[in-house]
Amino acid sequence: MNKWHRISSKDVLTLTKGRERTMDGFMMKDKKFPRIAVHKGQLTGKQSLPTKKERSTKPSGIKQAKPRRSRAERTSEYSQIATQETRKIVVADYPPEQVPCLLVMSGVDLGKLYPMDLIEGPFRLGRNPENHMRIDDFDISRYHAEIRMTPSGHILLEDLGSTNGLFVNGDPVGSHRLKIGDRVRLGPHLTFQFSFKDQHEVSYHQKIYNRIAYDSLTGVVNRRYFLDATKREWSFAKRHGQPLCVALFDIDRFKNINDTYGHPVGDEVLMEFSHRVKEMTRDEDLFARYGGEEFVLLLRSTKLAGAQIVCERIRDAIQSAPFSTKAGPIDVTVSGGLLECLSEALPFFELDGAIQIADECLYHAKESGRNRIKCTTLTNHVPL
């Protein structure tokens, strides 16, 4: 007679006291197993239990039970399964091969598209650099709003306690389930449109926006973008009494570089110049190619002394090492004109006039021998 038998729920068990019961009933009602032996699916006779050594030996043809896992291991596995199933639900609720997007409908970033990977986590909008969409606008709170995916696959927009509010299709909201075509407004004027786009559409929008906002050669923003952004900064400085500085830079004797080495080498100089200047500026500063070999820098909430330090660092970074080009190393210098715009003077001047004054300072720097910075304030534009 075999001592070991794999019991199924269909087996009939005969206990030592003569009771017969199916395996299901036996397991439910009897807390302890009597001493039993198994033969051909039935329990017969009173037998001794196997010894510890016998229990530790794997009988032939019988699989050993897997060791019981800890609660943490089981919880982790269930969490992974739930996440996988949630992903399936979410993807199934999306239009095929498309991703949710926000298209900027107003402001200096008009036309910029922001695709969102909501399966990976919430998408946050605000002024803080940690946000997925950093909005460089003082009317926007540091953490203004959040877009996330619900377990059921819906897309939810939520206000994160913003100062100037969150609106959908003109109505103030605290939380809103987004639908295709919804107009989302953050604060008084920044508007987005919610939609779904496939990868071809996303790529198309990004290329169009880059052509509109950025200089194709140097990769910095272009003149149009700079002027639009600076008008906003100018208005903010007026309202809040903040100073700002504008600096114009012009590469010295750039025409000679083009005439001597050719325009491709001149392009290399422009690209390297832009790279070196970007290394010297803050994220909140705005640096742009203004035209040809002329560049412009806006320094927010900065007084003259601080702006002078930045401009001198830029000048030194340009002259400190030759520019590497296909024609070999080339020594390059730059001249600059710096204007401090005091808050009390801002109401009496427009942006165009301020840039003209900075250009006059640049002219004096060129006339004084190049490779230098000339500066002044908005109330007295005679260079110091």
Domain locations in the chain? Answer: 12-56, 98-211, 218-377
pLDDT of residue 68: 62
Percentages helix, strand, coil for the chain (3-state, rounded to 5) are: 35, 25, 40
Rg of the chain, C-alpha, whole Å? 36
**Are the beta carbons of 217 and 267 closer than 8 angstroms?**
yes
DSSP structural state of residue 214: B
DSSP structural state of residue 142: T
- The dihedral of CA 337, 341, 342, 345: what is its sign? positive
Residue 351 — φ and ψ, nearest 5°? -60, -45
Question: pTM for the complete prediction?
Answer: 0.69
Laid out side by side, the sheet with 183-186 consists of: 113-115, 98-104, 190-198, 183-186, 166-168, 171-172
Q: In terms of DSSP bridges, do strands 145-149 and 171-172 run parallel, antiparallel, or are they unpaired? A: unpaired
Distance in angstroms (rounded) separating the CA atoms of residues 210 and 103: 14
**What six digits make up the tokens of 211?**
């052509």
Over the chain (384 residues), the average pLDDT of each successive run of 10 is 54 50 45 45 48 55 57 58 47 70 94 94 95 91 96 93 97 96 95 96 95 95 94 85 94 97 98 97 94 96 95 97 96 97 82 92 96 87 46
CATH-assigned architecture of domain 218-377 = 2-Layer Sandwich (3.30)
pLDDT of residue 13: 53
Amino acid letter at 368?
S
**What six digits make up the tokens of 301?**
């909430």
Q: Which of 276, 274, 254 is nearest to 265 (CA)?
A: 254
How many helices (DSSP H) and strands (DSSP E) are in the chain? Answer: 9, 20
Distance in angstroms (rounded) separating the CA atoms of residues 10 and 26: 11
Q: Which residues contact 239 (CB under 8 A, 6 or more apart)?
A: none
158 pairs with which residues across the strands? 146, 175
Q: Which residues contact 234 (CB under 8 A, 6 or more apart)?
A: 244, 346, 351, 354
Distance in angstroms (rounded) separating the CA atoms of residues 279 and 316: 12
Distance in angstroms (rounded) separating the CA atoms of residues 289 and 308: 20
Distance in angstroms (rounded) separating the CA atoms of residues 374 and 384: 7
- Comparing 98-211 with 218-377, is the CATH topology the same? no
pLDDT of residue 308: 97
pLDDT of residue 4: 58
pLDDT of residue 69: 62
**Are the beta carbons of 242 and 235 closer than 8 angstroms?**
no
pLDDT of residue 28: 41
**What six digits make up the tokens of 162?**
């913003």
- Under CATH, which number does the domain 98-211 receive? 2.60.200.20
Distance in angstroms (rounded) separating the CA atoms of residues 371 and 373: 7
